[in-house]
């Protein structure tokens, strides 16, 4: 689980070094910034979580199981493909730093959106792809990104686009799996993590309400 965006805080610290007149509370302002949530199913959640942890503006990640029909499922139960759950990553982010639209664009770069119930070598309904939202106001943005992505394929997208019905956190050993097991299995190429680390929604590293602290 990623609790704080260390990369963004480090970048802000570097900016502060360059500008002595940057007030000290600028580095603290992110903690009071508003956040938004989105739930993303991109195949095996080990790699998907690690991928989104690299993106600036992502505050928290947590792996779990979404939109199934049983209560408190275990990983072993979900693995049977009888619970209806999809391996999913909960992503909390700072919308003033990274937009939902950008996160969804990054999401599509990490999946095969025309593959039904299969990503990489992982196959089963638990590995289906999907975007699950909790705020209906996010739907127009989601639909916009889906429409843009559909233009790139002749086949219809096989990515679900649904309200979140339920979400259960996976067992602790699944959280931050690739941090704990750097050589562990991952369906995503290492180059994609580097791509995510370098990706930016904006060149402005300092939140807008901190701009007044810089002269």
In-domain check, residue 30: yes
Known catalytic residues are 44
pLDDT at 162: 98
In-domain check, residue 215: no
In-domain check, residue 95: yes
Number of helices (H) and strands (E) in the chain: give both, helices first: 7, 8
Regarding beta strands 160-163 and 58-66, do their DSSP bridges make them parallel or antiparallel, or are they unpaired? unpaired
Q: pTM of the prediction?
A: 0.82
d(CA 131, CA 140): 13
Residue 145: what are its φ and ψ, rounded to 5°?
-65, -40
pLDDT at 200: 84
3-state secondary structure of 80: coil
For residue 77, the domain's CATH number is: 3.30.1060.10
pLDDT at 30: 55
- Note down the domain range covering 56: 6-209
Residue 82: what are its φ and ψ, rounded to 5°?
-115, 0
pLDDT at 33: 83
d(CA 64, CA 78): 10
Contact 101, 36 (CB under 8 A): no
In-domain check, residue 23: yes
Q: Which two tokens stand for residue 21?
A: 């007149």
3-state secondary structure of 16: helix
pLDDT at 28: 52
3-state secondary structure of 101: helix
In-domain check, residue 214: no
In-domain check, residue 80: yes
d(CA 20, CA 31): 21
What is the domain count for the chain?
1
From first to last of the 215 residues of the chain, give the pLDDT tens digit: 544 455 555 665 555 555 544 444 454 555 668 999 999 999 999 999 999 999 999 999 999 999 999 999 999 999 999 999 999 999 999 999 999 999 999 999 999 999 999 999 999 999 999 999 999 999 999 999 999 999 999 999 999 999 999 999 999 999 999 999 999 999 999 999 999 999 988 644 444 444 333 32
Bridge partners, 16 (sequence order): none
The strand order across the sheet containing 86-93 reads 160-163, 129-133, 36-42, 86-93, 58-66, 167-169
In-domain check, residue 1: no
pLDDT at 19: 52
Q: In this structure, how many other beta carbons lie within 10 angstroms of the beta carbon of residue 21?
A: 8
3-state secondary structure of 207: coil
Contact 43, 119 (CB under 8 A): yes
Alpha-carbon distance values, 116 to 48, 75, 160 (Å)? 17, 21, 10
């Amino acid at each position: 689980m990623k609790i704080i965006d260390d990369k963004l805080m480090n970048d802000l610290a570097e900016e502060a070094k360059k500008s002595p007149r940057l007030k000290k509370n600028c580095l603290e302002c992110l903690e009071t910034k508003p956040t938004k949530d989105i739930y993303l199913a991109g195949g095996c959640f080990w790699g998907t979580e690690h991928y989104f942890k690299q993106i600036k503006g992502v505050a928290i990640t947590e792996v779990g199981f979404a939109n199934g029909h049983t209560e408190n499922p275990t990983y072993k139960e979900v693995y049977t493909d009888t619970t209806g759950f999809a391996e999913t990553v909960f992503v909390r982010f700072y919308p003033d730093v990274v937009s939902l639209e950008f996160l969804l664009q990054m999401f599509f770069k990490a999946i095969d959106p025309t593959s039904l119930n299969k990503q990489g070598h992982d196959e089963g309904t638990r590995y289906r792809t999907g975007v699950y939202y909790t705020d209906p106001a996010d739907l127009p943005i989601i639909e916009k990104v889906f429409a843009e992505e559909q233009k790139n394929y002749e086949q219809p997208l096989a990515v679900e686009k649904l309200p979140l019905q339920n979400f259960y956190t996976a067992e602790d050993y699944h959280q931050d799996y690739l941090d704990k097991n750097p050589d562990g299995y991952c369906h995503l190429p290492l180059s994609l993590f580097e791509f995510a680390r370098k990706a930016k929604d904006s060149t402005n590293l300092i939140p807008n309400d901190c701009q007044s602290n810089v002269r």
